[in-house]
Amino acid sequence: MERVRRAANVIIVLAAAVGTATLAAAPPDRLSFKGYGFIHFGMSLKDAEKVAGIPAHRNTGRDPNCEFVDFTRYPNVIFFVEGGRVTRADLHYDAPNVVGIRVGMTLQEVKRRFPQGNVTEKEPDDIGHYIIFRAPGGETEIIADEENDVVTRVRGGLVASVENTEPCN
């Protein structure tokens, strides 16, 4: 009887360890230089739907090569799909990101807390700044928009896509 009890305890401990390892391996639901949650930049939409475990809600505009999609699993994100690949993620409101920048922060606070960000002025017609955080290797970026001294939006993705003010240009 003692052997059975020990075996049961070992099984319980192993099951708990596997469950903990699985949870630790799952990416957090936040914007990173690689993507958002399970969805990575450069991934096909078909693969993104597989890893999200649900089909995307599609909003195809005038250009069939440019789609805006969202997943109920990630309610605070809109993904941009160009040529069938996820290229960008735009966050709603205050969705988390690896940089730590938040909508509502002042430009001075951003400069103080995130000196690694490259602050550039928007085009002459626009008011405000972009705060750009480039990933090591330079293939992806996270960009925050600032207007009237306040961060208004955060997005990330492949450089060519995320640097466009209007996606899919």
Domain ranges across the chain: 35-162
Mean pLDDT of 92-107: 90
User: What confidence score (pLDDT) does residue 157 get?
Assistant: 97
Query: Which of 13-22, 32-41, 95-104 has the lowest average pLDDT?
Result: 13-22
For the domain bounded by 35-162, which CATH number is listed? 2.60.460
139 phi/psi in degrees, rounded to 5: -85, -25
Mean pLDDT of 146-167: 89
Considering the entire predicted model, what is its pTM?
0.79
Contacts of 163 (CB under 8 A, 6+ apart): 141, 143
Q: How far apart (Å, rounded) are the C-alpha atoms in residues 149 and 106?
A: 5
The H helix count followed by the E strand count for the chain is 4, 10
What single letter denotes the amino acid at residue 72? T
User: What confidence score (pLDDT) does residue 22 get?
Assistant: 40
- Confidence band for 61, pLDDT divided at 50, 70 and 90: low
Q: Which two tokens stand for residue 4?
A: 């059975």
SS3 40: strand
Mean pLDDT of 116-138: 89
Q: How far apart (Å, rounded) are the C-alpha atoms in residues 23 and 149?
A: 39
List the one residue out of 156, 154, 118 whose CA is nearest residue 34. 156
- Confidence band for 123, pLDDT divided at 50, 70 and 90: confident
